[in-house]
Amino acid sequence: MKNVNLHIHADGSVHVSAPAHVSQARIDAFVASKARWIAQRQASFEARAAEAPRAWCTGEQIRLWGETLELRMERASSTRTESVTREGAELVLRVADRWSDSSEASAAHREKLVTRWLNEQLSAALPDLFARHETQMGVHAGAIRLRRMKTRWGSCKVAAAVITLNTELVHYPPCCLESVVVHELCHLIEPSHNARFHALQDRYYPAWREARKLLNARPPVG
């Protein structure tokens, strides 16, 4: 471990990790300097935890690339013909009769269909995005993975050049996904979050700070 790292868990708890040589005073000062950010993250987690569980039915709202779409549930002739499609400002979810009631099992099935469709939209956006920035930066991701993460928007295993992206990014404006992609690609050049790393971000995606503000306004919740 090279740096002092700070993470806020979904329960609001604050976790700090640091190299053994870092003094307690320095750690305390670091945490104090992040007090406002910590409070914002905790408030966001609390607000999201208070949200009523989704029923995944007509009238609910789904965010896609920063836009708000209204969910409309329709009947499918069978489970094999179930589908999710975007039609203007609506997201049309077609489900078989057996999954159209208000039970928890049906809601979970509908959630699975919508989540799979959203992950497909995210996956489809990645090839061109990575190709463009990899060419510009002179690096290459050995593997790209998608996973819902609790506290991170992305991660990079530098030695293996494996980049993992949070599936929640599909809900945010495209600039947020691009910012995270560039962030993780920068780690293939500079593993640490030091001055050189931030200079690389400024060079390859100057709007990263604006994108980060959008992401921090609604942090991921696992």
Q: Assess whether 198 and 152 both reside in one domain.
A: yes
Q: Assess whether 79 and 163 both reside in one domain.
A: no
Residue 20 lies in a domain: yes
Residue 185 lies in a domain: yes
Q: Assess whether 24 and 108 both reside in one domain.
A: no
Q: Assess whether 130 and 185 both reside in one domain.
A: yes
Long-range contacts of 137-140 (CB under 8 A, 24+ apart): 137/182, 137/185, 137/186, 137/188, 137/189, 137/204, 139/185, 139/188, 139/189, 140/188
pLDDT tens per residue, range 45-77: 666 655 667 899 999 999 999 999 999 999 999
Handedness of CA 32, 36, 37, 43 (dihedral sign): positive
pLDDT score for 80:
95
Q: Assess whether 82 and 113 both reside in one domain.
A: yes
Predicted TM-score (pTM) of this structure: 0.78
Q: Assess whether 130 and 117 both reside in one domain.
A: no
Residue 12 lies in a domain: yes
At which of 86, 104, 122 does a domain end?
122
Q: Assess whether 210 and 134 both reside in one domain.
A: yes
At which of 122, 147, 162 does a domain end?
122
Structural domain total, the chain: 3
Tell me which residues of the chain have a pLDDT lower than 70.
Answer: 1, 10-11, 45-52, 220-222
Q: Is 46 helix (H, G, I), strand (E, B) or coil?
A: helix
At which of 122, 144, 169 does a domain end?
122
Q: Assess whether 88 and 130 both reside in one domain.
A: no
Answer yes or no: are the C-beta atoms of 84 and 114 closer than 8 Å: yes
Residue 56 lies in a domain: no
Residue 54 lies in a domain: no
pLDDT score for 222:
44
pLDDT score for 4:
86
Residue 221 lies in a domain: no
Q: Assess whether 102 and 168 both reside in one domain.
A: no
Q: Assess whether 130 and 170 both reside in one domain.
A: yes
Q: Tell how far CA 58 is from the center of its chain.
A: 25
Q: Assess whether 117 and 149 both reside in one domain.
A: no
Name the token pair of 194: 């030091």
Q: Which residues form the domain of 161?
A: 124-216
Q: Assess whether 132 and 191 both reside in one domain.
A: yes
Q: What is the CATH number of the domain that holds 152?
A: 3.30.2010.10
Phi and psi based region of residue 65 (left: phi greater than 0; alpha: psi -120 to 50; beta: remaining): left
